[in-house]
A and B are shown apart, each in its own frame.
Chain A
Amino acid sequence: MSQHYGLLAEFSNHEDLLRAAETAYAAGFRKMDAFAPFPVEGLPEALGKKTRLPLLVLIGGIIGGVGAYYMEWYANAVSYVINIGGRPIHSWPAFIPITFELTVLAAGLTAFFFSLGLSGLPRPHHPLFNVPEFERASQDRFFLCIETRDPNFNRDQTRAFLQGLSPLSIAEVPE
């Protein structure tokens, strides 16, 4: 068993893939993933994938904003104070643009690095690349892969289940 990564079913269009993902989720499969040549609306939800990215981006943005304001306050009101025409030293309206800019920057960088990190990228190799047909996932075919580490996975029963979704083909993915 362990020398296999999972079973890969091939579909010809995104509607079939979406239906297959919903059926597999209803059948209790959780450790699975889908691959399509373009972002398919509703596919992550159908697979039951949840992402913590929005929360992380919010936290990143808050850290950026608070950090920026703190830096400006420390630099201009504490460490290196210059009196310019008697204007307030801690003049918060003037600090807002940079606070805003660094909030956006930190949130953006968080989104970039965490979306890479959470999806395990960069990753030079993946067992799915052992299946020659999988190349078409970036061209014109749609794939659903149920992994062996899913508790409900059973080589014969899962294959039969996938067969019931009427795919174009089913392939075993070598580890």
Chain B
Amino acid sequence: MSAPNQSPLTSHESPSYSPLGYPTNLLAPGQTYETVNKTIAEIPLSRAPMSWRFGFFVAFLLLMMFLVAITWLFAKGVGIWGVNIPVAWGFAIVNFVWWVGIAHAGTFISAILLLLFQHWRTAINRFTEAMTLFAVACAGSMPLLHLGRPWVFYWLFPYPDTMGVWPQFRSPLVWDVFAVGTYFTISLLCVVSLDFSVAIVPGWHSTIFPPYFVAGAIYSGFAMSLNIVIPVRKIYHLEHLITERYLNNMANIMLATGLIVAYGYFIEAFMAFYSGDIFERYMMMNRAFGPYGWVFWTLMVFNVLVPQTLWSARIRRNTVALFIVALFINAGMWIERFVIVVTSLTRDFTPSAWHMYSPTKWDWMTLFGSVGLFLTLQFLFIRLVPMISISETRELVAEPDKATIK
């Protein structure tokens, strides 16, 4: 592997697994500039496979359902949702935080892995950046839908209006407007978590939120990337460009961030009791054993138990198993956002102010509709744009040292 004068057009010859069983290649042997060009560029230039058409059809149906849900919402108002007082933040905010979290991994892969000189971002970074953009589109639509009067959404922006008023910059919700606006071009998540931390609701007022939201975001983002990459890799036969090593590394990151998230759950419970605050303690008991307790335990299974299977190299190498684990994590992260938003709000301080929350069919349509928006955009991306950066993959062809670990 250490021939410096080796021509870049010759194949890489190296074992595919390290002695510890880790896949070592970022590129299958025998790749040249021409094969890379052809494999990647051919996809948008040739006919779409049947699986793409079917997937796009399903995604588009979901998108149409989203349209119906939004239209009815604009006609009738947020009363069609299950939101009430005290649970004024229902599915819209749960979805918002979930989508923003998914968007986070794109930023993480492209920025942090680049700064750390991690070459295993090459084949997946364009996917995940596209995913970021689409997930932010889904996220950004949620607070807009949640506005009681969405037609005056521009009041959120600081513009010199004839009413002589300005947005209140001391409010975390105004921070979000800028966070989402910036995210479209660049990226931020901590700020969204501050929405919760700055509030005094029990279960929200906690400085652990920013780091633990970020870990959770990377967790769900990698899960969503895997849910996209695994089928795409299979359908378009990209196994030699998106090698097992990518999947293995992504699974490792999910395992690590998953443990951070589990630690977050633990420390949250611990702090609730350690604080001695009666409301915090009650919040924790209510979260685990109250009317929404089953949701909490589902979360524990999805986000803490199931990912422990990733310790096994056999699971990490089995694409079907990995895909299923990633699905569990995605669902788990959504449930986590639900637990944080809803169970905290249903029972805050005075029992006379408590109120249960249950979503309506319009809530569900909005959730799955936004998934439709995301998938439709993702399918169009795969169809119209080379989904892997060709130039960066050529770099791996030219410099075999970067593509292999010893």
Show the binding face of A for B, using Cβ within 8 Å: 12-15, 37-39, 71-72, 75-76, 79-80, 82, 84, 87, 91, 94-95, 97-98, 100-102, 104-105, 108-109, 112, 139-140
Given contacts A71-B158, A80-B164, contact A97 B194 (CB under 8 A): yes
Q: Does B297 contact A (CB under 8 A)?
A: no
Residues in chain A near residue B165, CB distance under 8 A: 80
The complex places the Cα of A148 from the Cα of B105 at a distance, in Å, of 47
Q: Give, as a whole number of angstroms, the nearest-CB distance from A105 to chain B.
A: 4
Contact at B391–A39, with CB atoms within 8 Å? yes
| A76: contacting residue among B37, B168, B179, B194, CB under 8 A | B168
Given contacts A38-B391, A101-B175, A102-B178, contact A80 B166 (CB under 8 A): yes
| B167: contacting residue among A75, A84, A87, CB under 8 A | A75
Task: List, sorted by A's number, 8 A–B pairs whose CB atoms are closer than 8 Å.
Answer: A12-B9, A38-B392, A75-B169, A76-B166, A79-B166, A82-B168, A84-B170, A102-B178
Q: Does B148 contact A (CB under 8 A)?
A: no
Contact at A38–B182, with CB atoms within 8 Å? no
Contact at B398–A14, with CB atoms within 8 Å? yes
The complex places the Cα of A38 from the Cα of B194 at a distance, in Å, of 40
The complex places the Cα of A95 from the Cα of B191 at a distance, in Å, of 12
Q: Does B7 contact A (CB under 8 A)?
A: yes
Q: Give, as a whole number of angstroms, the nearest-CB distance from B26 to chain A.
A: 14
Main secondary structure on A side of the interface with B = helix
| A102: contacting residue among B8, B172, B182, CB under 8 A | B182
Residues in chain A near residue B194, CB distance under 8 A: 97
Q: Does B49 contact A (CB under 8 A)?
A: no
Given contacts A37-B391, A98-B174, contact A104 B166 (CB under 8 A): no
Q: Using a CB-CB cutoff of 8 Å, which residues 134-186 of chain B contact chain A?
A: 158, 164-170, 172, 174-175, 178-179, 181-182, 185-186
Which partner residue on chain B sits nearest A73 by CB separation? B169
Q: Using a CB-CB cutoff of 8 Å, which residues 1-50 of chain B contact chain A?
A: 5, 7-9, 32-34, 37
- Size class of the B contact interface (CB-based, 8 Å): 20 to 34
Q: Does B92 contact A (CB under 8 A)?
A: no
**A97-B175, A97-B194 given. 11 additional CB < 8 A pairs?**
A13-B8, A38-B391, A71-B158, A75-B167, A79-B166, A98-B174, A100-B191, A104-B182, A104-B186, A108-B182, A140-B34
| A75: contacting residue among B166, B179, B398, CB under 8 A | B166
Given contacts A104-B186, A140-B34, contact A91 B170 (CB under 8 A): yes
Q: Give, as a whole number of angstroms, the nearest-CB distance from A45 to chain B.
A: 17
Q: Give, as a whole number of angstroms, the nearest-CB distance from A136 to chain B.
A: 9
Q: Give, as a whole number of angstroms, the nearest-CB distance from A59 to chain B.
A: 17
Show the binding face of B for A, using Cβ within 8 Å: 5, 7-9, 32-34, 37, 158, 164-170, 172, 174-175, 178-179, 181-182, 185-188, 191, 194, 391-392, 394-395, 398
Which partner residue on chain B sits nearest A77 by CB separation? B169
Which partner residue on chain B sits nearest A108 by CB separation? B186
Residues in chain A near residue B33, CB distance under 8 A: 37, 139-140
The complex places the Cα of A151 from the Cα of B117 at a distance, in Å, of 39
Contact at B185–A105, with CB atoms within 8 Å? yes
Contact at B395–A39, with CB atoms within 8 Å? yes
Contact at B169–A76, with CB atoms within 8 Å? yes
Given contacts A39-B395, A101-B175, A105-B186, contact A94 B170 (CB under 8 A): yes
The complex places the Cα of A95 from the Cα of B168 at a distance, in Å, of 10
Contact at A104–B7, with CB atoms within 8 Å? no
Residues in chain B near residue A95, CB distance under 8 A: 169-170
Residues in chain B near residue A112, CB distance under 8 A: 185
Contact at A101–B170, with CB atoms within 8 Å? no
Contact at A38–B166, with CB atoms within 8 Å? no
Contact at A38–B394, with CB atoms within 8 Å? yes
Q: Give, as a whole number of angstroms, the nearest-CB distance from B250 to chain A.
A: 23
Give me the 10 closest cross-chain CB pairs, A-B, nearest first.
A75-B166, A140-B33, A94-B170, A38-B394, A38-B395, A72-B169, A80-B166, A38-B391, A105-B182, A97-B175
The complex places the Cα of A138 from the Cα of B37 at a distance, in Å, of 9
Which partner residue on chain A sits nearest B180 by CB separation? A101
The complex places the Cα of A7 from the Cα of B304 at a distance, in Å, of 63
Residues in chain B near residue A102, CB distance under 8 A: 178, 182
Contact at A139–B37, with CB atoms within 8 Å? yes
